[in-house]
Amino acid sequence: MKPVAHVHAGETVQFETLDALGGQIQNEEDVMNLDFSKVNPATGPIYVEGARKGQTLVVEILDINISSDRGVIVAEEGFGVLRDVVKGFRAKILPIRDGCVIFDGLSIPIKPMIGVIGVAPEREEFPTGTAHKHGGNMDTKEITVKSRIHLPVFQDGALLALGDVHAVMGDGEVCVSACEVPATVTAKIEVEDRTIDWPIVETEEHVCVIVSLPELKDALEEATRVAVKMLSEARKISFEEAYMLASLIVDVGVSQLVDPNLTAKAKIPKRYLA
């Protein structure tokens, strides 16, 4: 795919994103005519001058501005954690006002986050709905304003794209969608001359290892292994000692349970990596 723009490291970029349903649902009846080929669009790709294979792309999220006064959430038979329980296909329009998503009279504070962010993969093609080492549809709520997303670069120029912004989402994204919204995302792009195996999300307080694999058990194990290795190297202790330390300080959990590859995360408090 040809890049839509070229930028240099250190530059700031604005991404205009559609909601994850491609703006197709304007009322709850539209769900019956949904064109799945337009689902989960990502804006890009952006060619980053100077980014080379084997380096790391760092994307600092400066702002997420929701560009609608409503979002949409869908649930469908055969999808989500309860895929064998839910019947039919339905959508719900969710008003957004006064900093809250309104669900049947409940006011839920918005916590805007980015569901899809990634670079071109090494060899295989991945649809934007699938996450792996290149990033993709990680649906990790820590990917928000003030976070820095570290992505391994597999192709020169990195070819960064992002989208699938959520006004709010719980860990797991259990029904296969969150409060899906269009948005403008402002991000600063940097390149670091180091190699990482999996995406890492750096927040103000934590470093989160993000791993997406077909089996959740494997994703949890790999996220834990990477976190333990990071602790071992940072603290200059054995892997076994770091493993014990991780059992005291690392929070291992899930980001999403509903896509072709399931996403696990291991959160390390930054102060233990200093």
Whichever domain contains 155, its CATH number is 2.60.120.580
How large is the average pLDDT for residues 30-48?
93
Residue at 163 is within a domain: yes
How large is the average pLDDT for residues 126-141?
96
How would you class 72 by CB atoms within 10 Å of its CB: exposed for 0-12, middle for 13-18, buried for 19 or more? Answer: buried
- pLDDT at position 11 is 98
Residue at 110 is within a domain: yes
Give 104-109 contacts, CB < 8 A, sequence gap 24+: 108/168, 109/168
- Cα separation, 151 vs 160, whole angstroms: 9
Three-state secondary structure of 166-203: ECCCCCECCCCCCCECCEEEEEEEEEECCCCCCCEEEC
Residue at 213 is within a domain: no
pTM score > 0.85 for this model? yes
| DSSP, res 68 | S
Question: Which residues make Cβ contacts (< 8 Å) with residue 89, sequence separation at least 6?
Answer: 31, 32, 74, 75, 76, 77
How many domains does the chain divide into? 1
- Cα separation, 95 vs 92, whole angstroms: 10
Residue at 242 is within a domain: no
Amino acid at 226: V
pLDDT band, residue 31 (cuts 50/70/90): confident
- pLDDT at position 33 is 86
Residue at 88 is within a domain: yes
Question: Which residues make Cβ contacts (< 8 Å) with residue 105, sequence separation at least 6?
Answer: none
- pLDDT at position 24 is 95
Q: Tell me the H-state helices in the chain.
A: 216-235, 239-249
Neighbours of 65 (CB within 10 A): 13
Helix (H, G, I), strand (E, B) or coil at 22: coil
Q: Which of 23-27, 69-73, 93-97, 182-186 has the lowest mean pLDDT?
A: 23-27
Residue at 257 is within a domain: no
176 is in which domain, residue-wise? 5-201
Closest-CA residue to 66 (of 107, 117, 121, 18)? 18
- pLDDT at position 126 is 87
Question: Which residues make Cβ contacts (< 8 Å) with residue 233, sequence separation at least 6?
Answer: none
Residue at 194 is within a domain: yes
pLDDT tens digit sequence for 177-218? 999 999 999 999 999 999 999 999 999 999 999 999 999 999
How would you class 218 by CB atoms within 10 Å of its CB: exposed for 0-12, middle for 13-18, buried for 19 or more? Answer: middle
- pLDDT at position 181 is 99
